[in-house]
Amino acid sequence: MMIDDDLSRRMLTAAWSTYFRDPMKEATDGIPALAAARNAEVGYQAPPAVFIDGTTFIWKPPFDTVLPEVSLLAARDAVTVGVTAKEIVVAFRGTIPLDGEADQALAVGDWLNNFNAVPRAWPGIGWIHPGFAEAVDNLWVELGAALAPLLKQQPGFPVCFTGHSKGGAMAHIGAVRFKRQSPKRQVLVCTFAAPKAGDSNFVKAFDAAVADSRRYEYGDDVVPHVPSNGGLGVTASVAPSRSVDGLLAAQLASLAQAYRSAGKLYYLPELIGGAKPVLTPLHEISSTQRVLSIIRAIPNLTLPLNQSWLGQHHDIKPGSGYHTWLQP
């Protein structure tokens, strides 16, 4: 089995749906109608299982005390696991929005996890992003337990890993980790706006483990270009004023990076005026071209994020660039 446009559309919905799952509420009130509609769009034969971790700390507090589960230091990670008529689907949730309805303490902790970017070694694989890897670690036991019966019930089904933003990077790491444990199982990966999860050696391991992959990137979305080298250093090309625009431009333009993008690029050019796409995704576009496009758009960066140029290009909700490109 290979990834086609239909699978990409269904995985977009699977990735988007991970932001709205509340297993405790669903256990008492049942699956909401909108969630049921999303499940049907993905093709789930039954509501996917959902696992959430909220007890892992980014770093050990520098004081002798017991912190509550909901803490500024707590990373909140989530994954859903389900089966369709064609594949087993593992969908990792992305970063909790800072300007959304979620608990702000959890959102801040999730963002701290993203910034934990000094690469760590994965023996036999390469160097990976420790924050994203720890997020996968937090869910791996429950994920494995959920996958085990599905793998037995559907021995010929591929396992398709997906996710948006941080969830996409987690999907890249999770796919390699799963393949090491189940070398005979076909693995597919379809991600949206995924940041970089590891170095060139990790990418080689990813390519060897994954039968087919698509990494969708829309317009001037900044997230697929980060992290750079595990730090925030700038080059001599920055103007003496050290403006925010100049710092960001220098960071994006620093292409000699330790981190590399995994998966086959499907670049979705920006849609002007909300028009439906008339072309197909691009493959022959360089990192330099993509970065220069973002640099030209930096003056449009505003807050809050859900109204900004950054948010508009990074979102996958209905009406977003990703959604408009992929949905028929």
Give the start-to-end residue ranges of the domains of the chain: 5-326
Each residue's pLDDT tens digit, 133-165: 999 999 999 999 999 999 999 999 999 999 999
Classified as helix, coil or strand, 297 is helix
Stronger pLDDT, 20 or 165, i.e. the higher one: 165
112 pLDDT more than 80: no
34-38, 162-166, 181-185: least confidently modelled range: 34-38
Each residue's pLDDT tens digit, 242-290: 454 555 555 444 433 488 999 999 999 888 766 778 778 888 887 778 8
Beta strand 187-192 with 120-122: parallel, antiparallel or unpaired?
unpaired
Which phi-psi region, left, alpha or beta, contains residue 167 (left: φ > 0; alpha: ψ -120 to 50)?
A: alpha
From 3.90.45.10, 1.10.3470.10, 3.40.1010.10, 3.40.50.1820, which CATH number describes the 5-326 domain?
A: 3.40.50.1820
Q: What is the mean pLDDT of the chain?
A: 80
Stronger pLDDT, 80 or 70, i.e. the higher one: 80
DSSP string, 17-53: HGGG--HHHHHHH---HHHHHHHHHHT-SSPPEEEEE
Report the pLDDT value the prediction gives residue 18, as an integer from 0 to 100. 92
Is the CA virtual torsion 115, 119, 121, 127 positive or negative? positive
Q: Is residue 223 packed enough to be buried (19+ CB in 10 Å), middle (13-18) or exposed (0-12)? A: buried
Report the pLDDT value the prediction gives residue 5, as an integer from 0 to 100. 95
Residue 231 tokens, joined: 């730090």
Percent of the chain exceeding pLDDT 90 equals 48
Q: What is the largest CA-CA distance in the chain?
A: 62
pLDDT band at 52 (very low <50, low <70, confident <90, very high): confident
Report the pLDDT value the prediction gives residue 40, as an integer from 0 to 100. 96
Report the pLDDT value the prediction gives residue 226, as an integer from 0 to 100. 85
Residues 232 and 46: their CA atoms lie apart, in Å, by: 44
Each residue's pLDDT tens digit, 74-111: 567 899 999 999 999 999 999 876 555 555 556 666 66
For the CA atoms of 307, 260, 217, 93, the dihedral, rounded to the nearest 10 degrees, stands at: -70
Residues 308 and 311: their CA atoms lie apart, in Å, by: 5
Report the pLDDT value the prediction gives residue 312, as an integer from 0 to 100. 73
88-92, 131-135, 183-187, 310-314: least confidently modelled range: 310-314
